[in-house]
A and B are shown apart, each in its own frame.
Chain A
Amino acid sequence: AQSVTQLDSQVPVFEEAPVELRCNYSSSVSVYLFWYVQYPNQGLQLLLKYLSGSTLVESINGFEAEFNKSQTSFHLRKPSVHISDTAEYFCAVTDPSYGGSQGNLIFGKGTKLSVKP
């Protein structure tokens, strides 16, 4: 079965420092990959997704993620973080094992990014 591993449960960084949040998935079949963000006391919202084409995808607020098929990874990066980036970040992958729908996702356990002044 498909699984998603987020290697760090918590990542503390100082403001304006670079950050990388790591994500690895298990399946070698074709998958779609997503990063979601959850700000305090809110639901999740999509940050970016990889469907096909260029392996580097970007979000509107400066995050980017690179799909690496050989390493089955989809790490999230930002060159300079802000206090407002403090949130929990979830990596997710489509699960082809459910027969009834193609919309199911398998989520990692999340990484809490804490940006300090």
Chain B
Amino acid sequence: DVKVTQSSRYLVKRTGEKVFLECVQDMDHENMFWYRQDPGLGLRLIYFSYDVKMKEKGDIPEGYSVSREKKERFSLILESASTNQTSMYLCASSGYRGTDTQYFGPGTRLTVL
């Protein structure tokens, strides 16, 4: 079974803190994604990566950065957390083809106080 794991299920941080969200996949997938999920807004793509050290901005990259030093690991970084970044963060991975299924992690619910 494909497994995508995220470092924390729940995280509470203070405004201004630097926050790291880690995601690891075990299927040698080329593509990895970070989404943000908010009620009534669905999933919005923050960043994605199609290869090691490669990254591309999604629809809402402001306030976020990413790192992919190894193929299996994709990190989302909030340089200075703000209250409007309180949300559910979902990581996903897939092969490189448009027909490939995206496999999701369980999500990290981040609260910024």
Contact = CB atoms under 8 A, between A and B. Distances in A.
Contact of B42 (A34, A45, A90): A90
A32 interface: yes
B5 to A, nearest CB: 10
A109 B40 contact: yes
A110 B40 CA distance: 8
A101 B31 CA distance: 8
A105 B102 contact: yes
Interface string B33-44: 101000011110
Contacts, number: 66
Chain A contact residues, majority secondary structure: loop
A43 B104 contact: yes
Contacts of B99: 32, 49, 51
Interface string A96-107: 101011111101
Given A96-B98, A103-B94, A109-B42, 20 more contacts: A32-B98, A42-B106, A43-B4, A43-B90, A43-B106, A43-B107, A44-B92, A101-B56, A101-B96, A102-B96, A102-B97, A102-B98, A103-B31, A103-B96, A103-B98, A103-B102, A104-B33, A104-B45, A107-B43, A108-B42
Interface of A: 9, 32, 34, 36, 41-46, 49, 51, 90, 94, 96, 98, 100-105, 107-110
